[in-house]
Amino acid sequence: MPKYNDISAFHEKLTRSKRILAVCGAGLSAASGLPTFRGAGGLWRNHRATDLATPTAFVKDPGLVWLFYAYRRHMALNATPNAGHFALAALARKNGKFLCLSQNVDNLHPRAGHPSEQIKLLHGSLFDIKCIDLNDEDGEGCGWIQHDNFDDPFCPALAAAAEDVEPDKTLPLLDPDHELAKIPVSEIPKCPQCSNGLQRPGVVWFDESLDGNMLDAIDAWIKQDVVDIVLVIGTSAVVYPAAGYAGQARSGSTSVVTINLEAELPQNLAKLKKNDFAFAGDAAVLLPKLLEPVIGQPRKDGTYCS
């Protein structure tokens, strides 16, 4: 049996594989300079990011929640796709039976040229805008949605989130000792369709369900035929349903390939099964090497020939 981190053995498996599934998390975008906002250091103005990413938090203080997301939009717009994004996009173009599931909301996959029909954005996008009705018990809006809104700042009241500062200086927005003026609800744009709801980020918050049609499509794809390889990239695999897809897609011959900074810790290696691989390191560095037999070598600008 080849060693779990034997790249040559993985290459042999890759070149024989047809159906490949990838499940990506925030660790993939870390090399692009985007914070993960989970685990140690995942605070924003002394707020846990997971406490701001809820419908309840938005109802309580929509201005504060919007500042958090407007800052993330600004960061994502100023980031660039890294070598890992480009490698996955190249794999999609080379292999029509490759499907990528991403928990990332930063729009870096599409910007790397990943074919839209071969990627599912599980948690939505920072650049989609939806309607939410603060007076509705379940928070449901009228169904209005706007795609690809790249306004920065999103609205005048959120201008503080789009400020750039000199290196080695702290943005006032990020300084918890710098008191922020509360943004009135009246300054958050209203839904243009119903005029009752507010516009909110089109991401999936905690306590919200993922799009049912999308989940059904993923389940159908997995059941279609044997999945030869599942790439688990830059994620600790604790948020469901993303965390369950590797197990759902596994058959006797499937190789689950873990690629993240902690992949080779003893407790993680203990979970490996026959045919599995684990590669510890930055996904932006590892993916181009791991996928090279199929996608080739990148051009000088980091992109790949179609």
Specify the pLDDT at position 40.
44
CA distance 89 to 147: 21
How does strand 140-146 pair with strand 198-203?
unpaired
Q: Which residues pair with 101 in a beta bridge?
A: 23, 120
191 is in an annotated binding site: yes
| Token pair of 302 as six digits | 């980091």
131 is in an annotated binding site: yes
Phi-psi region at 36: left, alpha or beta (left = phi > 0; alpha = psi -120 to 50): alpha
CA distance 2 to 92: 27
Specify the pLDDT at position 103.
93
- 74 catalytic? Reply is no
Phi-psi region at 296: left, alpha or beta (left = phi > 0; alpha = psi -120 to 50): left
The total of other beta-carbon atoms located within 10 Å of residue 176's CB is: 11
The total of other beta-carbon atoms located within 10 Å of residue 168's CB is: 5
CA distance 299 to 305: 8
Average pLDDT across each block of 10 residues of the chain; the chain has 306 residues. List them in order: 87 97 94 73 71 91 95 94 97 97 96 97 97 79 95 96 74 76 94 95 93 96 97 80 86 93 90 94 97 94 82
Specify the pLDDT at position 150.
97
| Token pair of 183 as six digits | 């943004």
Cβ(14)–Cβ(291) under 8 Å? yes
Specify the pLDDT at position 238.
60
Specify the pLDDT at position 46.
74
| CA count, 13 A, side-chain hemisphere, 297 | 2
CA distance 195 to 81: 36
